Structure 1
């Protein structure tokens, strides 16, 4: 997503292509995009940059959230899913997508109907596996009853613990993989945030945790986290990724970046071992109720089906 969407001015196409190929060179085997990212531009970038290396990675993309006439839309109707998928295949330059998610829950459409559309796409050979994103344990179980779900993608990091309410347990019960997006907290646990100086188009400028009055409070937590990472001999991003990886064998973090140096830093975390006492210190910093502010502003939260934590007020 970072290469085309939501974090200010993205890198150019050539730089994005270099980063994607460097990721593959480093052993990355999973690339995750969506129809919404850059209004289709991210899928086109992958199509140009890395599809000649198709055998080296699992390709994932998403539907339901899409862009129509330049506007973001949420549409889980089967006919819309089919239309988004066909357009994605053209942009990606491939005849199938390995893992295709429902990006968000469209509450106007029964989840069974949306999953049924993906099941038919699988039967047609257009996708290989089905996924969900930002959905609850109950929705996962309903979807899984229609067709086996391979992966659930939800935000998860030391400072976003909503999956621990129910979704992680449901994934384990059903044998579903868990894909953790924003595992370094949208850069907050990677030393990227020092104040509210966001570029134009940076989604964090609209998110309660990233703006005052919550920001100053949360930056104090980040300083404690940064000091813990330094004492462990790693970067904050690496400690955050190590924490996520420690939470379960079925968890795959997908840190996004538009910077090759950050990519290399992130990839190195997969080779590191973290002392259990250090990971316990991470939990202590981000104990229940420690973080100030909601995860999303109201309009975005309305599209989220994931369970709330006991101390969250929406």
Structure 2
């Protein structure tokens, strides 16, 4: 597994990271034993970056990672944690701003360290911007935890260019975690250039657009209310049909390359720069193996042109989140 560095000041990580959210939340039931086996397989394959959130499964995801790492060397793994999402006992997300004030930073970190069974988090980041809490205050509180040794690096998630600049003025930001895929290219206009100017890496999630670009999605697939995608516009009606037509066009390119659709989609994100680390959200070992093979896909100039002709920038039908959640994304605040 090749390695990349998360920004100018961040840790060295594998060229692919593992996003663990789906093992606990939002995509329907998952098998815990298979989830742990998948984490083990990822580590054995050279993946050392594992991404989680303290609100994924209301803490379950962190405890799952703890269990998976019991017989592994903790220092061989870079654990990235988002915080701030608020849940209710029935698992619903509370419709309130994220919990990111300075006192909350320290309180939530304390619980994260206990659930993970570790004495430090490698990258700690607010999951979303709270418009009522200056980003300088949040980053300043995390910086105090860096000084105290409980956190190694500061990251951000789904913020716009202006917020990123303000945060970086307080403390170096090793990476910005943000959705980036063939179907979600909004970062390219302003956010990505700003990150590069500041020496901030990009950890790209949603590289398969929550399964749309996996090559396995079918129009007749039924989604239950427990699956977050049942509420995402891109998976609805005419939007879904239009998006799957794009996938069919991409499949033609993948076939010529002797690769799977998912592998080409991941390889495209990885090709955008060595400062970008794609996260794959595999919940099973077979899906992990598909994603790992993306590192063997070499894309030349003609291949890249064919991919972008199949899925042009801005071609996705529907927003990447429901309207209410889109409205709360700082990264989308200045888009027309």
> Which TM bucket (shorter chain)?
over 0.9
Alpha-carbon distance change, 2 to 243 in structure 1, aligned in 2, over 3 angstroms: same
Preserved contact between residue 83 and residue 126 of structure 2 (Cα < 8 Å): yes
Q: 1:176 aligns with which of 195, 200, 203?
A: 200
Question: Which residue pairs with 2:12 in the alignment?
Answer: none
Once the two structures are superposed, the pairs formed by residues 53-64 of structure 1 within 5 Å of their partners are: 53=72, 54-64=74-84
Q: Is there any run of 5+ residues in structure 1 with no aligned partner, and where?
A: none
Aligned residues: 310
Q: d(CA) in 2 for partners of 1:71 and 1:109?
A: 23
Q: d(CA) in 2 for partners of 1:290 and 1:50?
A: 41
Does residue 166 of the first structure (1) align with residue 190 of the second (2)? yes
1:36 positional shift: 1.4
Preserved contact between residue 160 and residue 333 of structure 2 (Cα < 8 Å): no
Question: Which residue pairs with 1:23 in the alignment?
Answer: 42
1:182-212: CA deviation from partner (whole Å, max 9, x where unpaired): 1111111111321251244111110111111
Question: Which residue pairs with 2:15 in the alignment?
Answer: none
Q: Is there any run of 5+ residues in structure 2 with no aligned partner, and where?
A: 1-20
1:137-180: CA deviation from partner (whole Å, max 9, x where unpaired): 11000000011101100000011001102111111111111100
Preserved contact between residue 327 and residue 333 of structure 2 (Cα < 8 Å): no
Stretch of structure 1 that moved more, 184-193 or 155-164: 184-193
SS of the residue aligned with 1:146?
coil
SS of the residue aligned with 1:153?
strand
SS of the residue aligned with 2:229?
helix
Q: Which has the higher contact order (CA 8 A, sep 6+)?
A: 2
Question: Which residue pairs with 2:16 in the alignment?
Answer: none
Q: d(CA) in 2 for partners of 1:40 and 1:68?
A: 12
**RMSD value over aligned CA atoms?**
1.6
Question: Which residue pairs with 1:288 in the alignment?
Answer: 313
1:33 positional shift: 0.6
Q: d(CA) in 2 for partners of 1:309 and 1:140?
A: 14
Q: 1:41 aligns with which of 42, 60, 78?
A: 60
SS of the residue aligned with 2:93?
strand
Once the two structures are superposed, the pairs formed by residues 95-114 of structure 1 within 5 Å of their partners are: 95-114=119-138
Alpha-carbon distance change, 72 to 81 in structure 1, aligned in 2, over 3 angstroms: farther
Q: 2:231 aligns with which of 202, 206, 220?
A: 206
Preserved contact between residue 66 and residue 84 of structure 1 (Cα < 8 Å): no
Q: d(CA) in 1 for partners of 2:145 and 2:317?
A: 42
1:308 positional shift: 6.4
Q: 1:32 aligns with which of 23, 35, 51?
A: 51
Question: Which residue pairs with 2:287 in the alignment?
Answer: 262
1:230 positional shift: 1.1
Q: d(CA) in 2 for partners of 1:49 and 1:280?
A: 41
1:39 positional shift: 1.0
Alpha-carbon distance change, 155 to 51 in structure 1, aligned in 2, over 3 angstroms: farther
Alpha-carbon distance change, 288 to 24 in structure 1, aligned in 2, over 3 angstroms: closer
